[in-house]
A and B are shown apart, each in its own frame.
Chain A
């Protein structure tokens, strides 16, 4: 009976993992990159210098918004902080559910930042939960469904893994399928709390979209009432029609300082500016608490009276806030963020090795039957593009950021197009170059693309590594070094795959000495590489 249960769980694990593995690989890798969203944005706007947040930033931004969108019903201002060096503003273009406009401002002057048009780190962040080229809603649904499969795959994987403690630290390289399984297990088990947390909290973020029934039953047809009760999100005050200037911001900031001693204000939201019904909402910085259940104070925009304090003493909303906060990890300082990134990479390795493991097993089964069918070839082909192609496409995105002319129309959109063109090319490439060659070439090209980015920086910007180091620009210096490390990691993978001798030949003939396959690999992802070749050797 117990075996039967494990067997069925193994079946469930294999199929739930495979069906969504390629999407999950992309979600994990771009999601890991999203931990560095402000840093990526900063690197991708080389025109901007290092700036520190100043107390007057909010005031400057409000004045700028009066020029940018005087008639807009709502403004959302994200102030700069230790990581984000620009003021980002969003506003509703017209009344009702009209679209949003956005701009990136210089915090000191309130002018539009004099920088190239780019999505920056926002692209990886948005892609990881809503994809691209599909509507936002479709993208979120696809990712949510994949995340549900992920949760199923994790739980069934734990049950399937019968030697979870015995093999806790075990990795045996150079043994084909055995190594893949070890790598898959180590990446999964050692970062298991993270994998469970990130998948579960990711689903919680979209719970109202995925499972709306509870709310609909309790609040039929009245989502606003639920929002007000659960999150303290009051319906917007209507426009009165009498003009009235906004009150000065400084006294409101002082009031917030009394309410949350020592806290920082990260966002300012304004509705109906210039009208007697205006409101100004000050939101406390989310980097100071684990929870992302935003605490805010809402003031009357015409009189400055405090209308509402939000985000306190609401247990259910706080639980959701903690989960949200854990997922985005914005409370994390540099050291903890590094740990999150390590675990994110482990997740990426787990998904990628799972996909390859499936292909290895299928090929073995097919060889036993004597014929390798279309399905196996298709999975192997897609594995190359999904796993080796994605980092290459991410590098292409950064190359486009440096090389597309600054005056070009739709420049930001074209950076993204380049990402998908490169990825699409990776999808076609294995048609021409079969099996292991396709893996090696895509990894090697990805390695070159990452490693040459700092070199390209010397040629086309003033912000090259040496300048960053001398100028004390730690973020750009670390980012360049990180790009070199990515190049090194992909290069190690390419090298490992190209050097690999099929495991069977080594074992049978004993021609390959142990050391040849057991070369020390510094890169954690490098350890599982030999079996890629095993998987692709026809």
Chain B
């Protein structure tokens, strides 16, 4: 469950970062996404983060779940920050990888 939650947290942060000017440009190579796309990214990002919280709490309960989730958020955000800094173009690939991983997990489990 930990990899699932981690993947969801990373994807959530990635969506939130794409809605930001600087990172949107780093990753997509163009500035100024339309407002509705930004809003969509923000909603999707928040939903993904919520999904990762649900996954962790579902497994560990609230007390331990919140602790694990906070730790996961730190790790996911750091990984994303490093990727945005050194390999911004790899972010879409990472997202695709996470998507495939999640689908495989759901189908397999």
Q: Number of residues in A with C-beta < 8 Å to the partner?
A: 27
Given contacts A170-B81, A290-B63, A336-B67, contact A194 B74 (CB under 8 A): yes
Contacting residues of chain B (57-103) with chain A, CB-CB under 8 angstroms: 63-64, 67-68, 70-72, 74-75, 77-78, 80-82, 84-87
Q: Number of residues in B with C-beta < 8 Å to the partner?
A: 24
Chain A 154-198 per-residue mask, 1 if CB under 8 angstroms from chain B, else 0: 000000000000101111110000000000001000110110000
B85, A173: Cβ atoms closer than 8 Å = yes
Which chain B residues have a beta carbon within 8 Å of chain A's beta carbons? Answer: 2, 13, 17, 20, 22-23, 63-64, 67-68, 70-72, 74-75, 77-78, 80-82, 84-87
* Whole-angstrom CA separation of A447 from B23 in the bound complex: 34
Which chain A residues have a beta carbon within 8 Å of chain B's beta carbons? Answer: 166, 168-173, 186, 190-191, 193-194, 290, 326, 331, 335-336, 339-340, 342-343, 346, 518, 520-521, 524, 527
A194, B70: Cβ atoms closer than 8 Å = yes
Q: Nearest-CB distance from A332 to chain B (Å)? A: 8
Q: Nearest-CB distance from A462 to chain B (Å)? A: 35
Within 8 Å CB of B63, what residues of A?
290
Within 8 Å CB of A331, what residues of B?
64
B77, A169: Cβ atoms closer than 8 Å = yes
B22, A339: Cβ atoms closer than 8 Å = no
Q: Nearest-CB distance from B3 to chain A (Å)? A: 10
B87, A166: Cβ atoms closer than 8 Å = no
Q: Which residue of B lies closest to A331 (CB)?
A: B64
* Whole-angstrom CA separation of A168 from B17 in the bound complex: 9
* Whole-angstrom CA separation of A186 from B13 in the bound complex: 14
Given contacts A169-B84, A170-B81, A520-B87, contact A194 B20 (CB under 8 A): no
**A169, A290, A520, A521: the one within 8 Å of B67 (CB):** A290
Within 8 Å CB of B23, what residues of A?
169
Q: Nearest-CB distance from A87 to chain B (Å)? A: 28
* Whole-angstrom CA separation of A343 from B82 in the bound complex: 15
Residue with the greatest number of chain B CB neighbours at <10 A, chosen from A190, A342, A518: A190
A339, B71: Cβ atoms closer than 8 Å = yes
* Whole-angstrom CA separation of A335 from B56 in the bound complex: 13
A342, B82: Cβ atoms closer than 8 Å = no
**A173, A343, A518: the one within 8 Å of B71 (CB):** A343
Within 8 Å CB of A171, what residues of B?
81-82, 84-85
Within 8 Å CB of A193, what residues of B?
70, 74
Q: Nearest-CB distance from A197 to chain B (Å)? A: 8
Within 8 Å CB of A340, what residues of B?
71
Within 8 Å CB of B17, what residues of A?
168-169
Q: Nearest-CB distance from A438 to chain B (Å)? A: 28
Instruction: Identify 20 new A-B residue pairs, CB closer than 8 A, beyond the known A171-B81, A524-B82.
Output: A168-B17, A168-B20, A169-B20, A169-B77, A169-B81, A170-B22, A171-B84, A172-B85, A173-B85, A186-B81, A190-B74, A193-B74, A290-B64, A335-B2, A336-B68, A339-B68, A339-B75, A343-B71, A346-B78, A524-B78
* Whole-angstrom CA separation of A326 from B23 in the bound complex: 34
Q: Which residue of B lies closest to A342 (CB)?
A: B75
B78, A342: Cβ atoms closer than 8 Å = yes
Within 8 Å CB of A342, what residues of B?
71, 74-75, 78
Within 8 Å CB of B87, what residues of A?
520
* Whole-angstrom CA separation of A335 from B60 in the bound complex: 13
